[in-house]
Structures are given as structure tokens and as C-alpha cells.
Amino acid sequence: MADSSPQSTLLKSIGAFGGVYTTGVSLNTGDYMAIKALGSDVTVLGETVGNINDISGAIIPQGDLILGEFSVVNCSGDAVIYNS
């Protein structure tokens, strides 16, 4: 069960649980809470699984962030996928 305490929420908001740096096309499995586009736009690809319906094909502009709960993130471009 996820920790929903105020302390955990604060730590998540500042990225304290770390993340995964991805470049090119990357398929990652785990418990993730956000995808941030770094040096270029990032495209969310098929096989991404989370609490956002029909996200495949979404483009995250450079510097922007999408929040959600993801168990699989498949994307193309330079991104950080933050752990939850």
C-alpha cells in the first residue's frame, strides 16, 4: 500500500525518491509518479500503463512534466521518470 502521509507527499514533490534518466526509446517498469521532458520534446509511446487513459502519442514539451501513477513508461526522447 502506498504511503500517503504528508511527509511522503512532500518528499515526492521534490523528487527525493529519485528517478530514471532515459534517452532515445526506453521501456521502464516500476512505480513512477511523473515524466519530465529534458533536452527535447518527449513522446509517450504505446505500452505505457498508468492512471491516465489514452496517453499513448502524447507529446511532453521540453521542460514540462506530466504527473500520474505509472507502472510502465515507454517513451522516446530525453526524460527523467520520477520514482514514487
DSSP the chain: -----HHHHHHHHTTTT-EEEE-SEEEEEEEEEEEEE-SS-EEEPTT-EESSTT-TT-EE-TT-EEEEEEEEEEEESSEEEEE-
Residues of the chain with pLDDT under 50: none
| CATH label of the domain that carries residue 57 | 2.60.120
Range of the domain at 39: 6-83
Number of domains forming the structure of the chain: 1
Asked, for residue 50, whether it belongs to a domain, the answer is yes
What share of the chain in percent tops pLDDT 90? 76
Cα 82 from Cα 35, distance rounded (Å): 6
Q: What is the pLDDT of residue 12?
A: 67
Q: What is the value of pTM for the model shown?
A: 0.84
